[in-house]
Amino acid sequence: MLRGIPGIISPDLMKYMMEMGHSDVLVLADANFPAISNAKRYLKADGVEIPDLLDAILTYFPLDGYVKKPVKLMRNLPGEPLPEIWESYKSIIEKRDREQAFKDFGLSDRLPFYEETRNAYLVVQTVTTARYANISLQKGVI
């Protein structure tokens, strides 16, 4: 064990975050996302909700300040209300983003989000069941 690293971040997750370089992408996937079939590297986070994991990850993970939207979400369908979980994400990111790279979310439709996920460095699948809870984070520099 190490001091200061929350138990919600597994040793493998910390290792992968350490290996990632500038502009690599980490995807936090909900329970319904086809993560294994769309991942180069896959971790299962049993019993973990995305907002809790996002909060822990952003303690260590710098967002990319060289792009307009380093945080992307899967777009909801037209006519559907905005997912409530997005407000939770926004407040976590605004609290943790020390470099203030985050201005607003990027949005991708479902199939393009899958394609972007296939190119991500890592996909972490959680138990979150909220609709449109998938979120991708592009790593920056410190």
> Which sequence positions are flagged as catalytic?
22, 64, 114
Distance CA 132, CA 25 (A): 18
What tokens does 88 get? 């939770």
Q: Residue 20, Cα to own-chain centre: how many angstroms?
A: 14
Q: What is the largest CA-CA distance in the chain?
A: 47
Amino acid at 51: P
Strand partners, 63: 139
Query: For the stretch 101-120, what's the b/e string if a residue is b when 16 or more beta carbons lie within 10 angstroms of its beta carbon?
Result: bbeebbebeeeebbebbeeb
